[in-house]
Amino acid sequence: MQAELEKTLSSLVASELALFNELAFLVEKEEERVCDGDMDGLLAILQEKQDVISRQEKIQEGWASLSCALGLSEGRDGPSFWSSLADKLGEGRAKDLKASLSVIHDVAGRVLEHESRVQALLEEHVEDLRKQMAQISQGKKALHGYSKSG
């Protein structure tokens, strides 16, 4: 039972960290596409990100299943979860897992911060595009007006 529990925990931690690293890479690519004005590329990146987010949701379900298997109603963020793990695996192993989740939390925080910066950049580009569209529209109206008068 303990070996199976450790295998499950290791898999969840490794998978979650890998997905956040993948998401970090995709946010980098997203920023490049925004800066390049490559909207088709941006849409492709956003689709890839959605796939990663779906896989992250499955990992969260895995954590919830593990919590239920331990007979707990709270998830991995609750004290009972860690107390139960410490009882089953030993205090040292539980601390190691907490440290791993802390690393994941830090990576996730950096990804979210970067994502926020990219979103602000995208909003700037969208505003520039709106201005360009307005100028084109005004130019068309002026051309239409000139052609009617001449």
Q: Is the pLDDT of residue 150 over 70?
A: no
Distance CA 40, CA 46 (A): 10
| Residue 15: predicted pLDDT | 96
Q: Which CATH number fits domain 2-149: 1.20.120, 1.20.58, 1.10.287, 1.10.10?
A: 1.20.58
pLDDT tens by residue, 1-22: 788 999 999 999 999 999 999 9
Distance CA 113, CA 131 (A): 28
Contact 30, 45 (CB under 8 A): yes
pLDDT tens by residue, 42-65: 889 999 999 999 999 999 999 999
Q: Is the pLDDT of residue 137 over 60?
A: yes
| Residue 107: predicted pLDDT | 95
pLDDT tens by residue, 113-136: 999 999 999 888 777 666 655 666
pLDDT tens by residue, 68-103: 998 988 888 888 988 998 999 999 998 999 999 999
| pTM across the whole model | 0.79
| Residue 37: predicted pLDDT | 82
Closest CA to 97 of 82, 108, 110, 87: 82
